[in-house]
């Protein structure tokens, strides 16, 4: 697939140039993007990750969400320097919550950056997104990858910080939300990383893979493409079967295009997914359908579900102003 770009080397920096020009609330120092006015007055929320997943990660640098984002190359974690610069720029003296996906390079670099800023009295707490149930079993939940469910955690953390919670309370609310969030994805076609010679993986025509990760990590099974209803049934079934500490009868349900899959097809799946949840006595009180966490032009989608209690629902409904959050 052809890329509308200048050079592969300039891809990330030029997309960030465009982002800053289209959103006057943002400012940029290299690969550190933050809110221009310094963000919220209390606890700061900082995230980061590789490019190629827009609007995840940097697109959620917005009021009510995160205060800053360290940006890496396509499908590569941000540098230690970018992580440190973002933390320092976002900090308001009330501590910083580091909230990002469970990937080795990201963890290593954010941990190093947190150690550096700690020398200057900037306290950080870390919460990892680990929502991808296809990447490890329940007994190894801490090893799971973070995918589109991270967007729901951004909203939880941002709202908790906006209401004035201190760092420990913001981290606790976000960890609790993470413990009640599950995702699963599927792919129908691959993406092409800028500058690469070909697609990131191969799927035969008419094939799909259930559980494939957002970088093409292996999934659960590969077979002939199933019907929308059959696919929704299996995805909802797997999400419901995965244990959470305190399941409830109210959920937020996010259907996310990985890039190429159109919204019409997400809506077809949503109608079936909501019906299957209703059969189990579960109500979708916060539906979300759109492009929330992509993988360039990959064909496919992910389904994320967060079990809601009164507090989590209130935090997800709290005011915010992000272009990419429409529920």
Active-site residues: which are they? 53, 215
Q: Which long-range contacts (CB under 8 A, 24 or more apart) does 38-41 make?
A: 38/67, 38/90, 38/92, 39/67, 39/68, 39/90, 39/92, 40/67, 40/92, 40/158, 40/161, 40/162, 41/92, 41/94
Exposed, middle or buried by CB within 10 Å (0-12, 13-18, 19+), for 191? Answer: buried
Q: At what angle do helices 80-90 and 104-118 cross, to 10 degrees?
A: 50
Give strand pairing partners of 248. Answer: none
Cα 305 from chain centroid (whole Å): 13
Q: Are residues 141 and 192 in contact, defined by beta-carbon separation less than 8 angstroms? A: no
Q: Which residues contact 2 (CB under 8 A, 6 or more apart)?
A: none
| Dihedrals phi, psi of 32, to nearest 5 degrees | -105, 115
Residue carrying structure tokens 């941002």:
158
């Amino acid at each position: 697939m052809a890329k509308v770009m200048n050079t592969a080397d300039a891809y990330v920096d030029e997309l960030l140039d465009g982002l800053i020009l289209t959103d006057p609330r943002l400012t940029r120092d290299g690969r550190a993007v933050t809110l221009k006015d310094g963000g919220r007055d209390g606890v700061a929320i900082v995230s980061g990750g590789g490019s190629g997943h827009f609007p995840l990660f940097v697109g959620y640098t917005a009021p009510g969400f995160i205060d800053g984002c360290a940006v890496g190359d396509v499908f590569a974690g941000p540098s230690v320097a970018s992580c440190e610069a973002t933390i320092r720029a976002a900090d308001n003296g009330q501590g910083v919550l580091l909230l990002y996906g469970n990937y080795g390079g990201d963890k290593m670099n954010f941990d190093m950056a947190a150690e550096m800023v700690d020398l200057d009295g900037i306290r950080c707490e870390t919460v990892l997104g680990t929502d991808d149930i296809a990447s490890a079993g329940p007994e190894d939940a801490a090893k799971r990858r973070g995918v589109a469910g991270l967007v729901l955690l951004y909203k939880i953390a941002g709202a908790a910080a906006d209401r004035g919670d201190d760092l420990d309370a913001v981290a606790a609310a976000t960890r609790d939300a993470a413990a009640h969030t599950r995702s699963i994805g599927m792919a129908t076609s691959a993406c092409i990383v800028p500058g690469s010679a070909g697609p990131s993986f191969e799927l035969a025509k008419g094939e799909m893979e259930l559980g494939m990760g957002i970088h093409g990590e292996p999934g659960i099974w590969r077979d002939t493409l199933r019907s929308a209803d059959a696919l929704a049934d299996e995805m909802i079934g797997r999400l419901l079967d995965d244990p959470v500490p305190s399941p409830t009868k109210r959920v937020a349900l996010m259907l996310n295009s990985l890039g190429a899959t159109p919204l019409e097809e997400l809506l077809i799946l949503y109608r079936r997914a909501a019906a299957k949840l209703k059969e189990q006595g579960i109500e979708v009180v916060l539906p979300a359908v759109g492009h929330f966490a992509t993988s360039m032009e990959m064909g496919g989608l992910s389904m994320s579900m967060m079990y809601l209690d009164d507090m989590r629902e209130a935090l997800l409904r709290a005011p915010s102003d992000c272009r990419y959050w429409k529920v």
